[in-house]
Amino acid sequence: MAKSIFSLIFLLLLSFVFSGEIFAIANGQQTWCVAKPSSEQATLLANINYACSQVDCRVMQRGCPCFSPDNLINHASIAMNLYYRAKGCQKWNCDFRGSGLIVITNPSYANCLYE
């Protein structure tokens, strides 16, 4: 009986330790911050303005690697990730009033590198 209780407690602890971000951090999993696809246009614009007031967003200017595609969701994701990176990749630095999403798949494309 005691062994069963111990096993159950051990499994419960494992479920907490190996859930979500703790599992990703424990395994050294890299994360990125992107805009939620369901975000409103005004929210995306506000995120770009805020993030780019805090970090250098030149990489998404016309003629730069992350300019295309030229749309708000793309530019917001780039700006939000730049901010997230600059602030140490803490989950709260990707909140953006609920419009940020932490992903474990690298969103880089073509010459636009999310670092």
**DSSP assignment string, 57-111:** -GGGSTTSTT--S-SHHHHHHHHHHHHHHHTTS-GGGG-TTTTEEEESS---BTT
Domains of the chain: 1-27 (no CATH), 31-115 (1.20.58.1040)
pLDDT at 1: 52
Is 70 a residue whose pLDDT tops 80?
yes
pTM: 0.76
pLDDT at 29: 87
